[in-house]
Chain A
Amino acid sequence: MDDRLAAAWARLPDYLSQHVALSASALTLGLIISLPLAVMAHRHSLVRWPVMTLASLIQTIPSLALLALFYPILLALSAAAEPFGVTFSALGFLPSLLALTLYSILPILRNTIVGLASVDADVREAALGVGMTDRQILTRIELPLAAPVIMAGIRTAAVWVIGIATLSTPVGQTSLGNYIFTGLQTENWVFVLFGCASAATLALTVDQLLGLIEGGVAKREQRRIIIGIIGLALIVLASLAPGLVPKRASYSIGAKSFTEQYVLAYLIRDRLAKNDLVGRRRAGLGSSVVFRALAANEIDVYVDYSGTIWSTQMRRSDQPGRAVVLREMEDWLREEHGILTLGSLGFENAYALAMRRDHAQSLGIRTVSDLARASPGLTIGGDFEFFGRPEWNALEDAYGFSFEDRREYQSTFMYRAVADGAVDVISAFSSDGRIAANDLVVLEDDRQAIPPYDAVLLISPARANDAAFVGALRPLVRAIPVEVMRDASLMVDRDNDKRSVREAAAFLAHEIGLEQRR
C-alpha cells in the first residue's frame, strides 16, 4: 500500500471518532433546542416569524466564518467567567459544537413547523372533539403525523453538520477535515481525497440510516425504525471507544497552516516523546487564533516569527533592527501575556516578495523599488492573510505600488500561480523550499519595510516553569539552519519523491544532530 494511504488509514480512528462525537453532539443539541422552539412557534404565531428569520439568518453566515467567530466570543466569555471559578476551553470542541448546533437548527425547525402546520384542520377539530388536551393532541396526533417531515429535516441537518464539521479543524477541533487541511497545505492529495471520501461516506451512511427510520415512521414499521436506531447507536458507541482509553497528561502543540509549521510541530512532538512526555498536535490553526490560544493556555507551545508578533500583536511599524526586535518582543510577551520566549530556532522565515527568475531578469527587477516602478503592468498574488497584514501596509507605504490586479490564494496554489505566470509576483516565505524548487528570486527589501522574522519557540504562561517540558525543548534553540528547514519543507511539498510530514520531521531531527541524544 502507498505510504500516504497507510498514514491516512492510521489516523482514521482518531479523526473519525472525534468527527462523529462532534456531529452527534451538535445534532442532539440542535434537536433539544429546535423541537420545543418549533412547537412554541406552531402554537404562537407571534413567535414564528422572529424564530424562522433568525434561523435563516444564521444559515446565511458562511460556515467557516461562523466557526471562527465563536473562538473570540468564547475566549472573552472564558476570561469573564474565570474570576467566578468557571473555566472552559475556547478552542476546539466548544466553538465547533456551538456553530454546528446553530447550523442544525434551521432544517429541523422549519420542517417541524411545516409538519405540524400541515396536520388537517378536521383532524385537529376531531381530536379536540374526542376530549384530548393540547398536550395529548401534540403527542398523539400532531407529532406522529408530522414525524416523516420532521425526520426529513433531521436528515438534512445531519448531512449538513457532518459536512460542515470538516471545517472545524482551523479552530482546533480534530475532525475528518484534518485530512483536507493538512493535505491541502502539504500537497498531499491522497489525504485530501481520503478526507472527502470518508466524510462523504459517513454522511451517506447516517443519511441512509435516518432514511430507514423515516420510512419506518411513515409506514409504521417498527423493524425499520429499530434497525436504523441500532445502526446509529453503533456508530456513536464506536466513536466513544477511543475516548475510553485513559490518556496520560499531555502537552498541546500548536501549528499554523503551512508546511514548515506542520513539520516543526512533529519535531516538537518527537522531542517530547524522547523525554517521555506526550504531545498532542493541534495543527492548521489561524495565525491570531494560535497566538491567543497560547496566551490563554489552550495550547502549550508553538513556533511564531518575531516580525509577525512585532507588527500584528505589538502593532509596531518601526524597524530598529533584528536584535532589538527580538529583545523587545521577548520583554513584551513576558510582561503583557506571561509568555516565555525560549529562544529563536536559528532561521528566519520572512514575508518576502518573489518572482520567477527569468521573468524578473527580463523586466530588470532586482529590488522591491524596481518592482514598484514596473508594478502598473503587473499582478500580485498573496496568501489569504497577506493583504490584511501590517507588513503589506508597510510595503505599500514604503514603495507606493500600483499593481494592475491582486489575487488571493491558498499558499500551495499561490506558488503554482507564479510558476504558471498567472501572477507576476507573490508574497513568499523566505524559508520556503518552494522558492528554490520553482526557481524564484526573492526581491531585496531595499527600504527595509519588512521587519526581521526569526522563528521563535514560544511557551504558554502555565508551562513557563515546567522544567521537564522546557528542558525537552531547549535543544531546539539555535539548532536549525535555514537550508535544513527549507529542505525538510520541500520534501513534503514537492511533487516527486514526496515524503510525509513525519518523515520530514525525522530528517530534520537527524540533520541537526538530535537523533542520537536522549
Chain B
Amino acid sequence: MTTSSPAIAFQAVRKSFDSGRTFAVDSISLEIAVGEFLAIIGGSGSGKTTTLRMINRLLDPDQGTILIEGVTASELSPHDLRRRMGYVIQGVGLFPHLTIAENIAATPTLLGWTRDEIDARVAELLDLVGLAPAEFINRMPGTLSGGQRQRVGIARAIAARPHIVLMDEPFGALDPITRDSLTRSYRELHDRLGLTTVMITHDVQEAILMADRLAIMKDGRLLAIGTAKQLAARDDRDGVGDLLDMPRRQARRVQERLSDDAHG
C-alpha cells in the first residue's frame, strides 16, 4: 500500500445476478480518494447497493478489480476486510439481545481487544455520536428512538477505527428534524476522524449538502461523477443537470406557496 493509492478504486467492474444476461453493475470504473465523501445517487434498480456491497465483499464482482487502499479486495479475507470497514444500513440492524455497549463493541470484540480498551472506546464513541454514556451503556436497543438507534449504528461502524465507512441510505427512515441534525453531525465526524465515506442516497439535497462528490447511477452504469457544481453546469443530454437542479426548483416552489398564502 502506498500513500498515493486511492482509498477505493473500481476498475471495469461488472456484476450479474442472472449468469450474464443482464448486468446489475456494468463496467464501472472510479476512484475515491482518501478522506473523500462520495454520495452515490440513483433510483431503485440502478445498481448502487450492489456497487456498495462489493466494496466490503458482501458481493464479489464477476469481472474487473476492486482495490482497497491499493490492495486487490478479492485477495483479502472477507471477514478481515469487513472488520477494517464501517457499514451502516437504513434498518440499522442492532443486535436486539445485546446491550448498546455490546452492540458498539461488536467489531473490537471480534478483533480481540481487551475489556479495558473496549470499555474506554465505547464511552468515547457514545460521546462522539452525542449520547450520554452513563445513560445508554446498559440499555437494550428496543428502548431507543429511531435517531438514537442510528447514532448507535454509526458508533458501531466506526468502533474499530476504520479508515473507510460504507453507508446504505443511513438516514432514509428518520424524521426530517432528526435527519438534519444527524447528517450534520456525521459530516463533522467524517472530517474530524479523517474518514473516507461512500454513502448511498436517493435524496439529491442530502447528497449535495453532505458529499464532496456525487456519482449518478442508472441501469447499472455510472452516468456521471463530479462535484455538485460541476454536475449542475453540464450540458444536460442525460437529465443529470435536471436532477441536480431539483432541490433548487423545489425550494422555489416552496417560496411561491409561502408568498401565495401571504397574499391569499
The interface bits of chain A over 112-123 (1 if a CB of B lies within 8 angstroms of the residue's CB, else 0) are: 000000001111
The interface bits of chain A over 121-154 (1 if a CB of B lies within 8 angstroms of the residue's CB, else 0) are: 1111111111111001000010011000000000
B87 contacts chain A at the CB level, 8 A cutoff = yes
Contact A131–B58 (Cβ < 8 Å): no
Contact A129–B95 (Cβ < 8 Å): no
Contact A133–B95 (Cβ < 8 Å): no
Contact A130–B83 (Cβ < 8 Å): yes
* Nearest chain B residue, comparing its CB with the CB of A141: B95
Given A132-B110, A136-B110, check contact A126 B79 (CB 8 Å).
no
What chain B residues lie within 8 Å of A121 (beta carbons)?
Answer: 91
B92 contacts chain A at the CB level, 8 A cutoff = yes
How many residues of chain A get a CB closer than 8 Å to chain B's CBs?
Answer: 19
Bound: A123/B142 CA distance, A: 13
Contact A145–B83 (Cβ < 8 Å): no
Bound: A133/B83 CA distance, A: 11
Contact B97–A220 (Cβ < 8 Å): yes
Choose among A124, A133, A145 the residue that contacts B79 (Cβ–Cβ < 8 A). A133
What chain B residues lie within 8 Å of A133 (beta carbons)?
Answer: 79
Choose among A122, A126, A131, A144 the residue that contacts B83 (Cβ–Cβ < 8 A). A131
What chain A residues lie within 8 Å of B90 (beta carbons)?
Answer: 122
| Chain A to chain B contacts (Cβ below 8 Å), 7 pairs | A122-B92, A122-B93, A123-B93, A123-B94, A126-B87, A126-B153, A132-B79
Contact B97–A129 (Cβ < 8 Å): no
* Nearest chain A residue, comparing its CB with the CB of B90: A122
What chain A residues lie within 8 Å of B58 (beta carbons)?
Answer: 125, 128-129
B89 contacts chain A at the CB level, 8 A cutoff = yes
- B positions within 8 Å CB-CB of A: 56, 58, 79-83, 87, 89-97, 106-107, 110, 153, 156-157
Least distance between B101 CB and chain A CB atoms (Å): 14
Contact B89–A130 (Cβ < 8 Å): no
Least distance between B142 CB and chain A CB atoms (Å): 12
What chain B residues lie within 8 Å of A127 (beta carbons)?
Answer: 93, 95
Contact B93–A125 (Cβ < 8 Å): yes
Contact B107–A145 (Cβ < 8 Å): no
Given A129-B56, A130-B107, A130-B156, check contact A123 B82 (CB 8 Å).
no
Bound: A132/B98 CA distance, A: 15
What chain B residues lie within 8 Å of A145 (beta carbons)?
Answer: 96-97
Bound: A122/B92 CA distance, A: 7
Bound: A128/B91 CA distance, A: 14
What chain B residues lie within 8 Å of A126 (beta carbons)?
Answer: 87, 89, 92-95, 153, 156
What chain A residues lie within 8 Å of B92 (beta carbons)?
Answer: 122, 126
* Nearest chain B residue, comparing its CB with the CB of A123: B93
**Chain A CB within 10 Å, residue with most, of B83, B93, B94:** B93
Bound: A129/B87 CA distance, A: 6
Bound: A132/B107 CA distance, A: 8
Considering only residues 302-328 of chain A, those with a C-beta below 8 Å from chain B are none
Given A123-B95, A141-B95, A145-B96, check contact A129 B110 (CB 8 Å).
no
Least distance between A129 CB and chain B CB atoms (Å): 3
Bound: A127/B79 CA distance, A: 11
What chain B residues lie within 8 Å of A220 (beta carbons)?
Answer: 97
